[in-house]
């Protein structure tokens, strides 16, 4: 079920005269990301057979909420420390868990509690701490330019694998967006830093 989301693909080993400055920008961005209380992560990720969209709010405690496409279907989810909740069309429930058509149609209008083990890879993909760690693991980076990205002054840092991470050059110097062409790539935007309230469990959720 993993979307393959990882900023480690942004890393590389190319060495240039800009490498120290580029490394410092990424180190600062990783620190800012790790200290954030919340952030909205939205965009697309290329996967085998197409692409998947996501629009999620991540929290420093590991919780997140929002929507994404899984196996071609739109899925809404709230992932809390104790329990995960999913709301999805009947077709996804049939495909993901092999439920009967009747059961899938019955639960489709509702939020459904799910055991952690059922979709563990999804939760692991969207943790602020994990994304920050993947940034720290990058090396051999190159500055490719300065532009206005999402209305903010930013520096672009590119890896030998082709991914470009745009980082704010003022304030907390948060990551703004990450773009990578080709297989496994996509375009992700970070926004709304520290402006979201922690999610709560939906009322009336069905138990498995």
Query: pLDDT by residue (tens digit) across 30-60?
Result: 999 999 999 999 999 887 767 889 999 999 9
Query: ∠ CA 121-31-196 to the nearest 5 degrees?
Result: 65
Under a CB-based contact definition with an 8 Å cutoff, are residues 164 and 158 in contact? yes
CA atoms within 13 A on the CB side of 4: 15
pLDDT at residue number 43 = 95
**Any idea which of 1-5, 17-21, 94-98 has the lowest mean pLDDT?**
1-5
pLDDT at residue number 102 = 96
State the average pLDDT over residues 138-153.
Answer: 89
> Does the structure show a pLDDT above 70 at 187?
yes
- Output the CA–CA distances (angstroms, integers) from residue 35 to 56, 69, 74, 128, in the order listed: 18, 28, 30, 9
Separation of alpha carbons 28 and 7, rounded Å? 15
Q: Among candidates 162, 160, 161, 187, which has minimal Cα distance to 176?
A: 187
Average of per-residue pLDDT values in the chain:
85
Confidence of residue 163 (pLDDT cuts 50, 70, 90): confident
> Does the structure show a pLDDT above 50 at 73?
yes
Percent of residues, the chain, with pLDDT higher than 70:
84
Stated pTM of the model: 0.86
Q: Among candidates 156, 165, 148, 174, which has minimal Cα distance to 38?
A: 174
């Amino acid at each position: 079920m993993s979307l393959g989301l990882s900023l480690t693909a942004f890393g590389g080993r190319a060495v240039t005269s800009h490498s120290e400055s580029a490394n410092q920008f990424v180190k600062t961005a990783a620190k800012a990301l790790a200290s954030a209380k919340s952030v909205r992560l939205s965009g697309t990720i290329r996967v085998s057979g197409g692409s998947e969209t996501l629009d999620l709010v991540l929290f420093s405690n590991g919780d997140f909420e929002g929507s994404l496409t899984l196996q071609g279907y739109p899925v809404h989810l709230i992932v809390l420390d104790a329990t995960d909740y999913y709301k999805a069309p009947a077709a996804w429930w049939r495909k993901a868990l092999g439920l009967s058509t009747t059961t899938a149609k019955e639960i489709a209008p509702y939020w459904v509690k799910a055991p952690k083990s059922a979709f563990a890879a999804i939760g692991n993909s969207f943790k602020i701490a994990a994304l920050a760690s993947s940034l720290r693991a990058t090396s051999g980076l190159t500055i490719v330019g300065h532009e206005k990205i999402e209305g903010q002054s930013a520096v672009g840092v590119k890896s030998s694998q082709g991914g470009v991470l745009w980082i704010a050059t003022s304030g907390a110097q948060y990551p703004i967006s990450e773009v990578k062409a080709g297989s496994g790539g996509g375009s992700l935007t970070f926004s709304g830093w520290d402006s979201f309230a922690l999610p709560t469990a939906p009322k009336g959720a069905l138990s498995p």
